[in-house]
Amino acid sequence: MASTIRLELVTPERLVLSEEVDEVVAPGHEGEFGVLPGHTQFLATLNIGVMWYRKGSGINKLALGGGFAEVTHDRVVVMADTAERADEIDLERAQRARDRAEARLKELTMDDETHEKARAALNRALVRMAAGGGE
Amino acid sequence: MANLRAIRKRVSSVKSTQQITRAMKMVSAAKLRRAQDAINAARPYARKMREVVTAVAGRAGAEAHPLLTAREAKKLALLVVTSDRGLCGSFNSGLTRAVYRFLNEHRGEYEEITLFVIGRKGRDFFRRREIPIRKEYLGVLGSVSRQHAETLASDLVGGFLDGEFDEVQIAFNEFRSAISQVVRFEKMFPIALESSGETAGDEVDYLYEPSREEILATLLPKYVQTMILRVLLESVAGEHGARMTAMDSATNNSVDMIARLTLQMNRARQATITTELTEIVSGAEALKG
């Protein structure tokens, strides 16, 4: 059995990474799940959230904007709507986005149409901050 | 013999046109490269998407989701992808003409054909012929983004699920190379499954989280989006390619034209000199006599 897994992360705009890694943890729709080599075939939808993978002892984080993951015993393919590596994340911008979203949420009521949008924006900003700042 | 000054003026006007076409050609070449890069960058995602959709839908069967279920095609929706700007050879006219022919030929087959049009050129074409357009999308192609593909997909998928149409086709210029774009009609959905081989060979089914049906319900619209995005990107690349070729031949033509005009101009100048000389000589002759 393979001792590593091939992690491929693609977004509609680009191939973000394609690497041999030891472990992957992704934000599944029904909770975070981890993948080690030899995992069973698995298909899941992903939430907005932080994903990370381990290569040796180094851990890399990414901010995901939702998507799908296909897992086979030696491969993980993540099809994300958006994905940013920790080193690509602009923390200040994420903070500003969070502040903006929070301010907007305060003005809106729950049944406002844009409420959901603002919440999603807040969520994305928080995820970015978590992925980018938590080294 | 044409007037010398008129020719001179003409040459300078052709020269400035040439400058413009040359600049446009260069701009298009640069944009074409960028568009090609975008196509290449989008390819891995599209490929993975297709793999997964084929795998899942093959196992689930055509009844699992309406987007997979073929219905009797009474009402057709046709998405026509043209460009917002002209000066790109037969890029738009080739496509709109093909669509026009298609409409005439297939009118009897379908109860109704609904048109969705991307691009100002296509809109103007159908408007002039008073063919109703259901929805038009302008200014999409300047910067193709996922948001555009999303709106388009949700309009089309929404109409399909509501039963407004039973089949969706897309007409666009396929990007073959910088100098070759081919008009294509492609069926988008219901999604036709390649039923053969692939799925039968796979021993194990996936575990799904959440259920297979729920995954399909989010996966399929995403798949439609990626298909639309691909078509948009190809069309943009095709447009730049077509414009580059058109501007290249325009520049070449202007070179020829300038050469011809210069020849004419020199001839005219020579002719005036000759006439003047004859006049002087004959004047001198007259005085002598």
In chain A, where the domains are located? 5-86, 90-133
In this structure, are B174 and B200 located in the same domain?
yes
Strand extents, DSSP E, A1-74: 5-10, 15-21, 23-28, 31-35, 42-55, 58-72
Pair type for strands A75-80 and A58-72: antiparallel
**Which residue type occupies B147?**
Q
Interface A–B counts its CB contacts (< 8 A) at: 73
Q: Quote the pLDDT of residue A1.
A: 54
Q: Is A17 on the interface with B (CB under 8 A)?
A: no
Rounded CA-CA distance B251/B53 in Å is 47
Tell me the residue range of the domain where B188 lies.
Answer: 29-243
Answer yes or no: do B129 and B159 share one domain.
yes
Q: Within this chain, do residues B100 and B112 fall inside the same structural domain, yes or no? A: yes
| Nearest Cβ partner for B146 among A12, A42, A43 | A12
CATH superfamily ID and name for A5-86:
F0F1 ATP synthase delta/epsilon subunit, N-terminal (2.60.15.10)
> Which residue's structure tokens are 């492609």?
B186
Residues B40 and B170 in one domain: yes
Which structure tokens are listed for B266? 């020199």
**pLDDT of A134 higher than 80:** no
pLDDT of residue A18: 92
CA distance B204 to chain A (A): 8
All residues of chain A having their beta carbon less than 8 Å from the beta carbon of residue B146 are 12-13, 81
Model pLDDT, residue B195: 53
For tokens 């080193």, the residue is A87
- The model's pTM: 0.84
Cβ–Cβ of A41/B56 closer than 8 Å?
A: no
SS3 sequence of chain B: CCCHHHHHHHHHHHHHHHHHHHHHHHHHHHHHHHHHHHHHHHHHHHHHHHHHHHHHHHHHCHHHCHHHCCCCCCEEEEEEECCCCCCCCCHHHHHHHHHHHHHHHHCCCCCEEEEEEECHHHHHHHHHCCCCCCEEECCCCCCCCHHHHHHHHHHHHHHHHCCCCCEEEEEEEEEEECCEEEEEEEEEECCCCCCCCHHHHCCCCCEEECCHHHHHHHHHHHHHHHHHHHHHHHHHHHHHHHHHHHHHHHHHHHHHHHHHHHHHHHHHHHHHHHHHHHHHHHHHHHHHC
pLDDT digits 0-9 by tens, A100-119: 888 888 887 777 777 878 88
CB contact under 8 A, B208 and A43: yes
pLDDT of residue B194: 61
CATH number of A90-133: 1.20.5
d(CA B57, CA B232): 25
User: Which of A98, A100, A68 is CA-nearest to residue A83?
Assistant: A68
pLDDT at residue B149 greater than cutoff 80? yes
The alpha carbon of residue B45 is apart from the nearest alpha carbon of chain A, in Å, by 5
pLDDT in tens, A82-96: 898 888 888 888 888
Helices B120-128 and B91-106 pack at an angle, to 10 degrees, of 50
| Count of domains forming chain B | 2
Nearest by CB: A44 against B44, B48, B209? B209
Verify that B128 and B223 share a domain, yes or no: yes
* B196 is a domain residue: yes
* pLDDT mean over B74-78: 91
Predicted local confidence at residue A131, as pLDDT: 83
Between CA B232 and CA B141 the distance in angstroms is 7
Q: Which pLDDT tens digit goes with each residue over A1-54?
A: 568 999 999 998 888 989 999 999 999 988 899 999 988 888 999 999 999 999
Top pLDDT among B198 and B89 is at B89
Residue A79: list chain B partners with CB under 8 A: 45, 48-49, 52, 222
Q: How many Å apart are CA B101 and CA A52, to the nearest integer?
A: 53
pLDDT band, residue B62 (cuts 50/70/90)? confident
Q: In the numeric block, which tokens belong to residue B21?
A: 């076409």
- Considering all CA atoms of chain B, what is the largest pairwise distance in Å, rounded to the nearest integer? 117
> What CA–CA distance (Å, rounded) separates B19 from A21?
54
C-alpha A8/C-alpha A74 separation (Å) is 11
Same domain, B69 and B172: yes
Q: Report DSSP letters for A73-131, one per residue.
A: TTEEEEEES-EEEGGG--HHHHHHHHHHHHHHHHHS-TT-TTHHHHHHHHHHHHHHHHH
CATH number at residue B117: 3.40.1380.10
The answer to whether A44 contacts B208, with C-beta atoms less than 8 Å apart, is yes
> Would the CB atoms of A70 and B209 count as touching at under 8 Å?
no
Does one domain contain both B52 and B186? yes
Domain co-membership, B150 together with B200: yes
**pLDDT at B212 (0 to 100):** 84
| pLDDT confidence of residue B204 | 65
Lowest average pLDDT, out of A125-134, B102-111, B157-166, B265-274, goes to: A125-134
Calpha distance B35→B41 (Å, rounded): 10
Per-residue pLDDT at B51 exceeds 90: no
Mean pLDDT confidence for B237-266? 94
CA atoms within 13 A on the CB side of B84: 11
pLDDT for res B201: 46
Residues B259 and B195 in one domain: no
pLDDT(A135) > 60:
no
Q: How many angstroms separate the CA atoms of B196 and B182, rounded?
A: 28
What is the rounded distance in angstroms from the CA atom of residue B205 to the CA atom of residue B279? 101
Q: Is residue B194 part of a domain?
A: yes
Give the gap in angstroms from C-alpha B219 to the nearest C-alpha of chain A.
8
- In this model, does residue B72 exceed pLDDT 80? yes
Tokens 């993978």 belong to residue: A53
**pLDDT tens, B191-247?**
876 654 444 445 567 888 888 888 888 888 899 999 999 999 999 999 999 999 999
Q: Kindly list the residues from chain A whose CB atom is less than 8 angstroms away from the CB atom of residue B52.
A: 43, 68, 70, 77, 79
**Tell me, what's the pLDDT at B197?**
46
For the annotated catalytic residues of B, the residue numbers are 88
Min Cα distance A95 → chain B (Å) is 23
- Report residue B127's pLDDT band, with 50, 70 and 90 as the boundaries: very high
The single residue listed with the structure tokens 């080739």 is B94
CB contact under 8 A, B42 and A40: no
- Least CB–CB distance from A45: residue in B204, B205, B215: B215
